[in-house]
Amino acid sequence: MKDKRVLSGMRPTGPLHLGHLHGVLDNWLRLQEQYQCFYFVADWHALTTEYESPKRIPTFSKELLLEWLTVGLNPEKSIIFIQSAIKEHAELYLLFAMFTPVSWLERNPTYKDMIQNLQHKDLATYGFLGYPVLQAADILIYKAHHVPVGVDQLPHLELTREIARRFNFLYQQEVFPLPEPLLSKVAKVPGLDGRKMSKSYGNAIFLTDDEDTIRQKIQTMVTDTQRPRKSDPGDPENRCVAFQLMRLYSSPEELAEIVAECKAARLGCVACKKCLAEKVVSALKPLWERRSQIEAQPHLFEEIIISGNEKARSFARQTLEEAKEVLFGTKWY
């Protein structure tokens, strides 16, 4: 039944927050019920921008895997692994590099954006230019049909398709299916200040924050700024950031009541945000419990990763052998 494959990855660059949980992982959890899913830690991709301080990457990778298991990615259903443990990605990347025109890489809008946004880093490297070629290898080595990604990643997906097309055309065999992006509707999670939740904006609630930190952070959350006093009627749906977060944690009935009470100037923001904080805390509690269970069994955690790596490796090896045979026209290599 699960004959279609889904693949996605995340760079290990720091702790996960509610934006990752509702914007990405909730979707991954849904997909693992319907597809054969491959989810991996893109640690080589992290290295393209973090090459000056690479020692942090393994720590972040481990943490990321732990958080994935914490939120419910299930190693019985999905293949969960670490990119750098599967050397086959690197070999396929090398083969792809031979026929990928440099102009395709230079005109990639995500590449230009990132160079712009990360001006404090020297990204005029060969590795960074080749980022999407490595990403194409990640995707194509599992012959993925669908790749859940955000819109920022669409140019990379398009490049992956072009690389697949070029390989199939040059060597006259349909080795690689053309992967489709999966732009599922995902929750937009506002940060404390109303901008998109992001670690670099300092407006995030992390999955590892403790209860009191969460309560404190939510009390600082921006509400309807045109409502300085409780006696002023509010407009939660259009003007309140806290309410946007409330939407993710409340039933339609609860939301209707908040809207009514806020508009009638009967509900104050402090009380409202207290209620929100309790909802967030109770939603995260089961995650914290699962996390401490996993942490209490380090061997089990290790086994999960080893076994995920092995499953991924055996799939990757087959594709790589097939690709090389088609390319060189002999099995000798």
**Which residues here bind ligand SF4, judged by CB under 6 A?**
223-224, 227, 234, 236, 240, 242-243, 258, 262, 267, 269, 272-273
Residue 159, contacted partner among ligand SF4, ligand TRP, none, CB below 5-8 A by kind: none
Q: Structure tokens of 256? A: 């209707």
Q: How far is the CB of 7 from ligand TRP (least distance, A)?
A: 6
Answer whether 153's CB lies under 8 Å from 139's CB.
Answer: no
Buried b (16+ CB within 10 A) or exposed e, 70-109: bbebebebbbbbbbbbbebbebbbebbbeebeeeebeebe
Shortest distance, position 246 Cβ to ligand SF4, whole Å: 7
Partner interacting with residue 8 (select from ligand TRP, ligand SF4, none; CB below 5-8 Å by kind): ligand TRP
Residue 179 interacting with ligand TRP (CB under 6 A): no
Among 16, 31, 141, 147, binds ligand TRP (CB under 6 A): 147
Nearer to ligand SF4, 138 or 224 (CB): 224
Q: Is 161 in the site for ligand TRP (CB under 6 A)?
A: no
**Distance (Å, whole) CA 192 – CA 195:** 8
| Among the listed residues 200, 46, 7, the one whose alpha carbon sits nearest the alpha carbon of residue 128 | 46
DSSP letter string over 18-35? Answer: HHHIIIIIHHHHHHHHHS
146: contact with ligand TRP by CB under 6 A: no
| Of 8-16, 69-77, 92-100, 311-319: span binding ligand TRP (CB under 6 A) | 8-16
The answer to the question of residue 20 lying near ligand TRP (CB under 6 A) is no
Closest distance to ligand SF4 from the beta carbon of 321 (Å)? 58
Selection from ligand SF4, ligand TRP, none that 269 binds (CB < 5 to 8 A by kind) is: ligand SF4
**Measured from the CB of residue 13, what is the shortest distance to ligand SF4 in angstroms?**
31
Q: Does 224 bind ligand TRP (CB under 6 A)?
A: no
Q: How many CB atoms lie within 10 A of CB 240?
A: 27
Asked if 17 contacts 65 with a C-beta cutoff of 8 angstroms, the reply is no
Shortest Å distance, C-beta 213 to ligand SF4: 19
Q: In what order do the strands lie in the sheet with 79-82?
A: 79-82, 36-41, 5-10, 146-148, 180-182
In the complex, minimum distance from the CB of residue 20 to ligand TRP, in angstroms, rounded to a whole number: 11
The residue from 42, 71, 222, 258 that contacts ligand TRP (CB under 6 A) is: 42
- Please provide the DSSP assignment of 267-290 as one string: S-HHHHHHHHHHHHHHHHHHHHHH
In angstroms, rounded to a whole number, what is the distance separating the alpha carbons of residues 331 and 318?
12
9 binds ligand TRP per the rule CB under 6 A: yes
Query: 31-63 burial string, b = 16+ CB within 10 Å, else e?
Result: bbeebbbbbbbbbbbbbbbbeeeeeebeebbbb
Question: Which residues contact ligand TRP by CB under 6 A?
Answer: 7-11, 42, 45, 135, 138-139, 147, 149, 153
